[in-house]
Each structure stands twice: as structure tokens, then as C-alpha cells.
Structure 1
Amino acid sequence: MNPFKLLLCTFFSVLVAGISVPDRTTDSTSLGRRQATLGFASSKWIWTTNTAANQAHAFRKDFTPPLGKSLIAAEVIIAGVNHLTFWVNGEIIGSTVTQAWAGRFCVDLDPSFNVFAVNASSTNTNGAFMATILLTYSDGTTDTLVSDSSWLSNGNAVPDGFAEQSFDDTTWVPSTVRATYDESGTPYVTPLIPANTPTLSFADVWWIWTDVLSSTGTVPKSTRVFRRTWTPPAGGEPSSADIIITADNEYTLYVNGFEIGSGTNWKVAGHYTVNFAPGTTEILVAVTANNLATSVAGVLMVMEVNMLPGGRNNCTAGVYGVTDGQWRSTLDGIPDGWQLPGFDDSTWPFVVEEGFYPNASPWASSVSIAAPSPPVNAF
């Protein structure tokens, strides 16, 4: 943004403050629970003109409210084809790793001027991201921003400080619309959105195993363990998680060190609800997987984490976690305490992504999902 524009916005913020100043200490529950339904129907898949794979791209959208209005908060849903990090006013809010699962974030805003920014990359030439931002004013009214060509982009690099309010983006260009939300024949899928009633699916999730897979995918009879730790988005406190999981042949699931459940039939995924202790700052998912004979083997999991209502808008945020190449597994025995938070798995190798559900052979058939088990406390 042009520094002069920022100065002008600061001047108007003083003027607006004299008209309508939100009490930043007021409990946001006075506004009531967010009732608006967030969706992507009006949003566009956008990118830069540079479609090269594995190239980082930067995007910015600034917003100044109408005269007499003061912003207090935003509720955001956002999804990118691959790796995406979302920023507001120079602070990282959260990230996503695939277009199939959107992130949902609650953000407190400055009254008069805010910058929404994205740092994204794609492993292929179909890079794009999509966002919807529901803005709330101090009087309870709302506006909606969507991803479209009005977002400014820089397709050649991600400059230092690009997400800051004072960053000069006057040389940036309008983003390129690659597809509409519901445009048929595009490579973009409809993202799942975290919700108070979770919607879980294995679509486009990786089957994973250790890094010793043969060219045929066959591995010896063995027991392997897998770990992945997630950190909630900034300001988010996990309240619960819904998990669907299966493994060929058997699995036992642990969350934050507590045994949650197990299964012995890969065609039927277990469905678990896990409650977290107040103040939880990380979520560790650990899995024991048994391959009962020399054969193919794999683990498949999706987790939706819902956050406690937070921020001045009292909205509920949520994120997804899935099996992918960021999990780790060991081949050198199973050490004591491997399933506990704080265990150092930094020397464990990353797993192998075997293929997407439902097309990865030999699991090229639907996995049914069992009825939810009774909720389990991971504390």
C-alpha cells in the first residue's frame, strides 16, 4: 500500500473514532453468536500470471470501512491448491495445505484500516486460492470481501514485510481469476469448510506409510508407528476434534498421549470425537499400524479441529489435519513414550505419500465411516 494512503486512513480513523468508537474491552457476546453462513459461492479462484510450479506468490487486499463505521472483527474461510499462509496486518493467522479443506479463522481487526495478505505456492501449474471474509462492524452490521481480481498480487517473489499495513504495493498488479467457485471442468474441487457440525470426507487424502516402500508398494509383516503434531492458529484454543481413520490392516489411535480407539477392517473407518483440556496449545496425533502379512500397507486419516468461540466477534474457528508427507515414522523399533507430546521425533524420516483416496491401488474402493463413538477426553 502507498504510505500516503496509510497516513490518510490514519487521519480518517481519528475522524471515525469521534463518531463511533468500539469498546475494545467489551465482551463480544453482546453482539450474539455469528449466525451468517460462510461460503465460497461468490468467491473466485485467483492467482498471478506466473503459473510456474513451486513458485511463491504474494497477495494483498486492503479495506477501509465506510465513513462512520468501525470494524471490530472478521470471520475468514480460505483454501489454496497447496501451501498457503494467511496474514492480517502483518500477523500470521493460519495456514492450509490443500484445496480440499479450507481453514476457518476468527480475527480481531483495527477500526479503520486492515490488510489481508496471502503467501501461497503450488507444486503444479494449477496454483490458485479462494477466500471469503465476513467483516463485522461495531454496530453489528457486516460486509463481505471475496477473492477476485481486486486483490493485488506479486508473482515473482514474496517481499519482506509484504503483509504489513505500511507496505508499498503500488507496483503490484490485479490478480488473475482462474475459475469461478462452481465452474465445471476446472481442476479445482469444492473445499470442505470447518463447521459446528463437522463434515468429514477422505476425498483427496493421502494414504501414507514409512519410507521403505518397494516399487510395488509391498512391505513385510511389521508394526510401525506414526506421529504428526499440529499447532492451532494464532489465538485459537482447540475445544474438540472429530477424526475419521483407517489402516491396512489394523490401527490404534492416540491423541495427546491418550488412547482413543482402534480398528481391524480398513474398509470401515473409525469415527471419534476428542475433547481437549482448557489451554491446549498443540495437538499430537499418533498411530500404531500393524501390517499382518507381507502385503501393501497404509494409514488414512482426516481430523477437523474446532476452536472455542473467541475474539470480539465470538466466532468459532476450525482447521483440518490429514495424512500427508509431513508425518514421521521410525523403522528402528518403537521407543518408549513415542505416543506422548514432547517426544522428540525430529530424527524420524518423513513418510511416503502412497496415493490419493479413492484412486490409490489397491484401495480403489470406498471406505465407509462408522457411526461416531462416544466422545473421549484427551486430558
Structure 2
Amino acid sequence: MFKAVVSLVSLGFFFAATTSVAASHSSFKRDNASYCPYPPYSTRSLFARQANSDLDFSGSQWIWTNEVNTNTGVAPVGARAFRKTFGPPEGKTPSTLTIAFAVDDSATLFVNGEDIASQTGWTTSGTYCVTLKPCMNVIAFNASTIGGPAALLVTGEVTYTDGTTSRIVSDQSWRTSGASIPNGFEQPSFDDSSWPLAIGEGAYPMAEFAGYGQVTIAGNNPVSINSANWIWTNELPSPGGAVPAAARAFRRTVTLPAGHTSASAQALITTDNQYSLYINGRFVGSGTTFQTAQRFSIDNIQGPSVVIAVYGVNGDGPSPNPAGLLASLQITSNDPSSCLNCSSVVDVITDTTWKAFNSVPSGFEQPGFDDTAWPAAVTEGTDGASPWGTVTVPSAVSASGTPLPGAPAGN
């Protein structure tokens, strides 16, 4: 289901306020900041929403372009763009947008032309908070499929300056491009009036042609290892198979949303047999048994990127000698220059997006280290998989300890 090609998708939204103000053509007006033209599209995807409620995908549809085969659900390989423009009801001024999306196979989110976040796969979603312009705004995605079924799922919540909110869902009122994606499609000034409408593939959680199901949204629940995978290097002969008793290096880089340079994280991690964890080169903690995870709380993480690095050791032991790293982190970030309470949350689990190297290069834990030549990690199964069984997760924060012998000292 997961595919590697990146394509472009732009989305724009209309919305109705929680006070049930109708968004009609006459409700759009000129204000001191910018001009709001009449709404170009249907307001079908706008729903009133109670403030402070968790973001969810109820009412959203899985959508794609009109190229989807209606008999098989298969879409052409490649990138496509989706757009939807939104403006406020009369008397309302947009403040922030909180948005989550799932995609088969990958996508990059833009808001008013800014690159906000990229995701691969449909099972999990980050929660991204973006400051809006006073009047018209545009949301865009760079989405792609590498073959088979393809779909995009979106939910968003607009918060106005008076504290009221409204909700946006993906549906057939969105505009989509064909195989040729023009430059600047993500910009507010781009004219998409000639683009066809998206087609609906089914209401969340199911889609007609694919086995889509529930999507986990970061921030709605605390950090968990339930969806994380045991991973190791490409030396694995098979999941849970014997590998050399030696130290190995693992890395995962997370780019924070545009403007977000300050972050904190909650982490759950364990390794068969031992590990030391680093964030942006800083030593966080160590563990020496795989039966029980450690829980760490990391503050004062300076972006715009967060580099997660693990020194993992497969110790000597009776044959067979399996090895695995299991971890999940929940990263919360914000724009320190903004006076608005606008935080984004992403969940990072061990999977094939991690890099794994068959030795431990000097300085691998540092943000400036180049891991582009490293191969992807290999997955061995989720929590509960053999030979490890279910890992015990502590409720309290673990003691950091010291770096393992041979591990970097850290910053």
C-alpha cells in the first residue's frame, strides 16, 4: 500500500462557523488585509464543529482523480495535484488551520504555498497547525502513487479570531490535476478553475476498492508502541533471524512544519539487546533489556529538523541470536515567533523509513551527519511478534543512565 513516488495535491476549503453562519456568495467581502472574492466552489465540505474537540476523519471521503478505474480502483502511477480554496463567512477572520491527512502512497502538504509536512502511507497522520491569512487561503498537496489503488483523506479545523471553529473534510468538491502538474500549483494565485473535480472512493474508514481502515491521528492519544515495528539492518536472513553480535547505527530525520523551530518529545524504546538513544546529538538514555521499554521525556529540541539516532547492540547469546529495535516517539512543535497557541504533533515509529547501517560511523548521532547512502531498515513485525512477545511499557519516566560502552558520549 505504501509507495515511494511523490506527487502534487492541492486542497482548498470552505467552512461554516460553529455559530451556523451561512457562507453564501454575499458573505464574502473586502477587508483591510485582502480581498475575498466570491467562493469558487461548493461549500459541501464545510461543517460546524465544536471548539476544543479532537480532530477526526468522520465524514471525510477517500478521494483521487477521475483516472481511477471504477472496476478495480487502480490509478495510474505518478503524481497528481489537488486544490481547494477557502474563505471565511461574513464577519469571521481565519486565525489557524489544524489539519491531518492520510494518503496511499505519499504526499506533501502546502498551505498558501509553504511546504508544511510530508507523509508516506495511510495508517497514521500527523496533526499540523498553520497560521492563516485574514481572508482567502489555499491548501495544497504533493501526492503520488506507485501503482494499485490510490487515495487521499483529509480533515481540518479552522479556528477564527473570535474562538469559533469549523471543519473541513475531503469530498468530491475538491479540484484535481491530470498527469501534467503546472509549476506554482500550490500558490494562492494559481487558477485551477479548469481542473476536474475529484471522485469519491468511499466514506472513511473504508474505501470501495482498497483495504483502508482506521487512521491514527497524532495528538489524539499518548505515545504508544502498538504500531511500531521491530527493525534491524539488512543483514537479517528473515524476521527474527540470527544476525551478528555487534553494534549497529540507526537514524531517522523528521522535518518540523514551516516556521516550527522549537519542539519536545515523548519516547518509548527498547532493543534486543541494548541501546543508547540520541536526539540531535544529545544523549537521552540507555536500556539493557528488550522485555521492558524505557520512557523518556525530551525538552528543548531545536529544529527545524529532529534527528533521532540509536546505537543498538546485539549481544552474544545462544543460537539463534535475533536482534531488533522497537521505538515510538511523539514530537510536539511550535513556531516560537507566533503568539498563537498553534502546535503540531507527529508520531514517529520504527519502520522502513528509518536508516540502518552495518557498522557505527563516527559522528552518526549528529544532525549534520550524511546518511543518504545508508540502506533502509528491515522490519520484523510489530509489538507482540515472535521471538520477543509483548513488551512491558512503564508509566513513569525512566532514568537516563549513561551511554553504553562504545557508544557516543553525545552533546
TM interval, shorter chain, is 0.7 to 0.9
Aligned to 2:342: 315
Does the Cα contact within 8 Å between 1:274 and 1:375 map onto a contact in 2? Answer: no
Does the Cα contact within 8 Å between 1:82 and 1:122 map onto a contact in 2? Answer: yes
One-letter identity of the residue aligned with 1:41: S
Q: Do residues 43 (structure 1) and 60 (structure 2) align? A: yes
Q: Give the 3-state SS of the residue equivalent to 2:31 in structure 1.
A: helix
For residues 396 and 269 of structure 2, the distance between their equivalents in structure 1, rounded to whole angstroms, comes to 12
Correspondences of 1:1-379 after superposition (within 5 Å):
15-17=30-32, 35-48=52-65, 49-50=67-68, 51-52=74-75, 54-183=77-206, 187-195=211-219, 198-203=222-227, 205-214=228-237, 217-277=241-301, 279-292=302-315, 293=317, 295-308=321-334, 311=338, 313-331=340-358, 333-347=359-373, 349-358=374-383, 362=387, 365-373=389-397
Q: Give the 3-state SS of the residue equivalent to 1:107 in structure 2.
A: strand
For residues 95 and 282 of structure 2, the distance between their equivalents in structure 1, rounded to whole angstroms, comes to 39
For residues 376 and 397 of structure 2, the distance between their equivalents in structure 1, rounded to whole angstroms, comes to 28
The Cα of 1:369 is off from its aligned counterpart by: 2.0
The Cα of 1:199 is off from its aligned counterpart by: 3.9
Does the Cα contact within 8 Å between 1:54 and 1:121 map onto a contact in 2? Answer: yes
Q: Give the 3-state SS of the residue equivalent to 2:308 in structure 1.
A: strand
Distance 1:187 1:350, change over 3 A: same
Aligned to 1:26: none
Unaligned runs of 5+ in 1: 2-11, 22-33
Distance 1:359 1:123, change over 3 A: farther
Give a deviation string over 1:34-70, Cα, whole Å, max 9, x none. 7343222222222224333752221111112223433
The Cα of 1:153 is off from its aligned counterpart by: 1.6
Does the Cα contact within 8 Å between 1:213 and 1:219 map onto a contact in 2? Answer: yes
One-letter identity of the residue aligned with 1:260: V
The Cα of 1:86 is off from its aligned counterpart by: 0.7
Two-structure CA RMSD over aligned residues (Å) = 3.3
Does the Cα contact within 8 Å between 1:252 and 1:259 map onto a contact in 2? Answer: yes
Q: TM-score, normalised by structure 2?
A: 0.75
Does the Cα contact within 8 Å between 1:195 and 1:318 map onto a contact in 2? Answer: yes
For residues 16 and 152 of structure 1, the distance between their equivalents in structure 2, rounded to whole angstroms, comes to 27
Unaligned runs of 5+ in 2: 1-9, 11-26, 37-50, 69-73, 401-409
One-letter identity of the residue aligned with 1:315: C
Distance 1:86 1:112, change over 3 A: same
Give a deviation string over 1:162-206, Cα, whole Å, max 9, x none. 111222223322222223224499622322222286242432x34
One-letter identity of the residue aligned with 1:295: N
Aligned to 1:31: none
Give a deviation string over 1:261-305, Cα, whole Å, max 9, x none. 23333343222211125x443212111112224533222222110
Give a deviation string over 1:4-27, Cα, whole Å, max 9, x none. xxxxxxxx9872339999xxxxxx
Distance 1:295 1:142, change over 3 A: same
Q: TM-score, normalised by structure 1?
A: 0.80
One-letter identity of the residue aligned with 1:256: N
Aligned to 2:39: none
Between the two proteins, the alignment pairs up a number of residues equal to 352
For residues 251 and 127 of structure 1, the distance between their equivalents in structure 2, rounded to whole angstroms, comes to 38
Q: Give the 3-state SS of the residue equivalent to 1:172 in structure 2.
A: coil
Aligned to 1:6: none
For residues 368 and 349 of structure 2, the distance between their equivalents in structure 1, rounded to whole angstroms, comes to 20
The Cα of 1:111 is off from its aligned counterpart by: 2.0
Distance 1:55 1:207, change over 3 A: farther
Deviates more, 1:41-50 or 1:108-117: 41-50
Distance 1:301 1:57, change over 3 A: farther
For residues 370 and 184 of structure 1, the distance between their equivalents in structure 2, rounded to whole angstroms, comes to 37
One-letter identity of the residue aligned with 2:331: V
For residues 349 and 115 of structure 2, the distance between their equivalents in structure 1, rounded to whole angstroms, comes to 21
